[in-house]
Amino acid sequence: MGRVRDVVTGARRIVVKVGSSSLTTTAGGIDEQRVDALIDELGRLSKDNREVVLVSSGAIAAGLAPLHLPRRPRDLATQQAAASVGQGLLIGRYISGFARHGIAVGQVLLTVDDVTRRAHYRNAYRTLRKLLDLGALPIVNENDTVATEEIRFGDNDRLAALVAVLADADLLVLLSDVDALYTGNPADPAARKIPLVRDDRDLDGVTIGSAGKSGVGTGGMVTKVEAARIATGFGIPVVLTAAPLAAEALAGKEVGTLFEAAAKRPAARLFWLAHATSPRGRLHLDAGAVAAVVARRKSLLPAGITAVDGSFAAGDPVDLVDAGSGTPVARGLVNYDAVELPALLGRSTGELAAELGPGYEREVVHRDDLVLL
């Protein structure tokens, strides 16, 4: 415990994620003491000329008590209603708390579309960047009020990892109600704490349970480990620990679990495409198209597509599937919708342009909007 983690103390831009169970009471509603403790620590960091982005769960949980809901609702409409009430209460608490430190906060609510479509992605990046440049502290949450099942991140651990990528962060800190990653259930005396994860080999034999749990939150240790994989794959180290240990973790003390970062960062937007999106459909490719896309990194043209599955619009993410094996080989943003595309299959762009006009000379998926899986 005497040593200090240099990757923590040297980080200038830090994304901190805190879960619902660390911010709210078991009955629903905001736990003001816990929120204030987190605000004070992040306020100290900001005054130390370190840029902080907070990814905060808790909107739905904060809305339970005011709406007299005894537990987290299962249906989407009631979740959205609770989020609508709770998000205002939560951000209001943050505004007043950070004001004590002379720090303005900015609310940033995201859906998956905001980080996968090119224009939306650039807008989200510019908003975060400008808030930080102006000395404000961005507070990010999923836009639970309007997000449907098709455009949800699923949990805020994943959102936090993707925000760390978007913000080009130096460090991601995941705060929860568990003090570290263990080899099994922390309640089991035989389970061992894992202080350091260098790569997936250090996770061999580790049992981390299911992705869901009861109570006010939606995450579990599975989602935290997956979030750590996403962030470290982009070259961002991750510290996982309990919210009461935030001060020690951010001071570089050896609490919790440190996930070491990969050495090289891939292109940010394509990394988002691979990890943030769920495919809305599938394009089946013949052997020639698979070779062109995978081996030669070419754009996908209509001539190489044998079949189309799913319901999608132009700009949506789709998986590119090897028609022979049924295996997805890439994911990309499609330039045609599912209704229009079948009539174009197997035909050259020149032929299509001559018959239908120059607008049909474009690629089905451009290589700049495509990532190999």
The pLDDT confidence band at residue 328, using thresholds 50, 70 and 90, is very high
152 and 15 in a single domain? The answer is yes
43 and 175 in a single domain? The answer is yes
217 and 364 in a single domain? The answer is no
Asked if residue 304 belongs to a known ligand binding site, the reply is no
By three-state DSSP, how is residue 140 classified? strand
> Which are the contacts of 171, defined by CB distance < 8 A and separation ≥ 6?
7, 8, 11, 13, 14, 15, 236, 237, 238, 239
pLDDT attached to residue 241 = 96
Give CA–CA dist 286/104, Å, rounded: 54
Give CA–CA dist 341/282, Å, rounded: 12
Asked if residue 223 belongs to a known ligand binding site, the reply is yes
Contact call for residues 160 and 174 (beta carbons, < 8 A): yes
Q: Which of 219, 246, 272 is the last residue of a domain?
A: 272
> Which are the contacts of 158, defined by CB distance < 8 A and separation ≥ 6?
223, 226, 227, 230, 275, 276
255 and 285 in a single domain? The answer is no
DSSP 213-271: -SSS----HHHHHHHHHHHHHTT--EEEEEGGGHHHHHTTBS-SEEEPPPSS---HHHH
Statement: residue 353 has pLDDT above 60: yes
Q: Which residues pair with 370 in a beta bridge?
A: 332
Q: Which of 272, 287, 313 is the last residue of a domain?
A: 272
Q: Which two structure tokens, joined as six digits, stand for 151?
A: 């455009």
Statement: residue 9 has pLDDT above 50: yes
The rounded mean pLDDT for the chain is 88
pLDDT attached to residue 111 = 79
Q: Which of 13-22, 179-188, 212-221, 269-278 has the highest mean pLDDT?
A: 13-22
Helix axes 118-133, 268-276, angle to 10 degrees: 120
Residue range 139-152: mean pLDDT, rounded: 66
Could you tell me which residue, 109 or 217, shows the higher pLDDT? 109
Asked if residue 1 belongs to a known ligand binding site, the reply is no
Give percent of the chain above pLDDT 70. 91
Least confident of 71-80, 137-146, 173-182, 215-224: 215-224
Asked if residue 218 belongs to a known ligand binding site, the reply is yes
223 and 294 in a single domain? The answer is no
241 and 330 in a single domain? The answer is no
pLDDT attached to residue 269 = 73
pLDDT attached to residue 29 = 76
Q: Residues 265-293: pLDDT tens digits?
A: 777 777 778 887 779 999 999 999 999 99
Q: In this structure, what DSSP letter does residue 72 have? A: -
Q: Residues 193-212: pLDDT tens digits?
A: 999 999 888 888 787 764 44
- pTM of the predicted model as reported, rounded to 2 decimal places: 0.80
Residue 186 is part of a domain; what is its CATH number?
3.40.1160.10
Does any domain span residue 146?
A: yes
pLDDT attached to residue 147 = 55
Contact call for residues 176 and 243 (beta carbons, < 8 A): yes
By three-state DSSP, how is residue 178 classified? coil
Could you tell me which residue, 213 or 186, shows the higher pLDDT? 186
Q: Which two structure tokens, joined as six digits, stand for 280?
A: 């809305």
Q: Residues 150-172: pLDDT tens digits?
A: 445 557 898 899 899 889 999 99
320 and 187 in a single domain? The answer is no
264 and 330 in a single domain? The answer is no
pLDDT attached to residue 13 = 97
Contact call for residues 276 and 292 (beta carbons, < 8 A): no
Give CA–CA dist 11/103, Å, rounded: 20
Q: Which two structure tokens, joined as six digits, stand for 65?
A: 């008590």
pLDDT attached to residue 211 = 46
pLDDT attached to residue 215 = 43
Asked if residue 57 belongs to a known ligand binding site, the reply is yes
Asked if residue 183 belongs to a known ligand binding site, the reply is no
143 and 194 in a single domain? The answer is yes
Asked if residue 113 belongs to a known ligand binding site, the reply is no
Residue 284 is part of a domain; what is its CATH number?
2.30.130.10
Does any domain span residue 204?
A: yes
Does any domain span residue 1?
A: no
Range of the domain at 356: 279-372
Statement: residue 214 has pLDDT above 50: no
Q: Where are the beta strands (DSSP E) in 275-339?
A: 281-285, 305-310, 317-322, 328-333
Q: Residues 220-260: pLDDT tens digits?
A: 788 899 899 999 999 999 999 999 999 999 999 999 999 99
208 and 268 in a single domain? The answer is yes
pLDDT attached to residue 153 = 57
363 and 260 in a single domain? The answer is no
Does any domain span residue 213?
A: yes
Does any domain span residue 55?
A: yes
Asked if residue 176 belongs to a known ligand binding site, the reply is yes
Quick one: how far is CA 191 from the chain centroid? 29
Q: Which of 230, 255, 272 is the last residue of a domain?
A: 272
Could you tell me which residue, 115 or 110, shows the higher pLDDT? 110
267 and 316 in a single domain? The answer is no
Could you tell me which residue, 75 or 8, shows the higher pLDDT? 8
Which CA distances in Å does 57 have to 19, 22, 54, 72, 204?
Answer: 5, 9, 10, 13, 30
Asked if residue 156 belongs to a known ligand binding site, the reply is yes
**End-to-end CA, the chain:** 39
Instruction: Spell out the alpha helix ranges (H) of 100-155.
Output: 113-116, 118-133
Contact call for residues 25 and 31 (beta carbons, < 8 A): yes
Does any domain span residue 88?
A: yes
Provide the number of structural domains found in the chain: 2
